Chain A
Amino acid sequence: MSKVRVLVGTKKGAFILTADGKRKDWKVSGPHFAGWEIYHVKGSAADPNRIYASQSSGWFGQIIQRSDDGGKTWNTPGSSPDELKSQGGMPKGESNKFVYAGEAGTHKWYDGSQHPWEFKRVWHLEPSPADPDTAYAGVEDAAIFKTTNGGKTWKELSGLRKAKGNLWQPGAGGMAVHTILLDPKNEKRIYVAISAGGCFRTDDSGKTWKPITRGLKSPYELPDPDAEVGHCVHRITLHPSRPDVLFMQKHWDVLRTDNAGEQWNEVSGNLPTDFGFPIDVNWNEPETIYVVPITSDSLHYPPEGKLRVYRSKTGGNEWEPLTKGLPQKDCYVNVLRDAMAVDQLDPCGIYFGTTGGQVYSSANGGNSWNAIVRDLPAVYSVEAQILP
Chain B
Amino acid sequence: MIRVALPFHLRNLARVDGEVELEIANPVTLRAVLDALETRYPVLRGTIRDHGTLKRRPFVRFFACKEDLSLEPSETPLPDEVVSGAEPFLIVGAMAGG
Contacts and interface: CB of A to CB of B under 8 A. Distances in A.
Interface of A: 34-36, 57-63, 76, 78-79, 84, 92-94, 96-97, 99
7 contacts: A59-B9, A59-B59, A59-B60, A59-B93, A93-B42, A93-B45, A97-B51
B57 A59 contact: yes
A61 B46 contact: yes
B83 interface: no
Most buried by A among B7, B10, B45, B97: B45
Contacts of A84: 42
A79 B47 contact: no
B42 A60 contact: no
Given A93-B42, A99-B52, A58 B96 contact: yes
Contacts of A97: 45-46, 51-52
Interface string B50-80: 1110000101100000000000000000000
B59 A58 contact: yes
Nearest to A78: B42
A59 B48 CA distance: 8
B94 interface: yes
A79 B42 contact: yes
A96 B9 contact: no
B52 A36 contact: no
Given A60-B10, A61-B57, A63-B13, A94 B51 contact: yes
| Chain A interface, DSSP helix/strand/loop, else mixed | loop
B28 interface: no
A381 B50 CA distance: 27
B9 A60 contact: yes
Interface residues of B, number: 24
B22 interface: no
Contacts of A92: 42, 45
B86 interface: no
A209 to B, nearest CB: 26
Contacts of B35: none
Nearest to B45: A93
A93 B94 CA distance: 23
Top-9 shortest CB links A-B: A93-B42, A93-B45, A92-B42, A60-B47, A79-B43, A59-B59, A59-B93, A97-B51, A96-B46
B38 interface: yes
A59 B96 contact: yes
Contacts of A79: 42-43
Q: Which of A58, A61, A78, A84 has the most CB of B within 10 A?
A: A61
Contacts of A76: 13, 43
B44 interface: yes
A265 B7 CA distance: 52
Interface in B4-34: 7-10, 12-13
A60 B42 CA distance: 14
A340 B81 CA distance: 54
B9 A35 contact: yes
Contacts of A36: 9
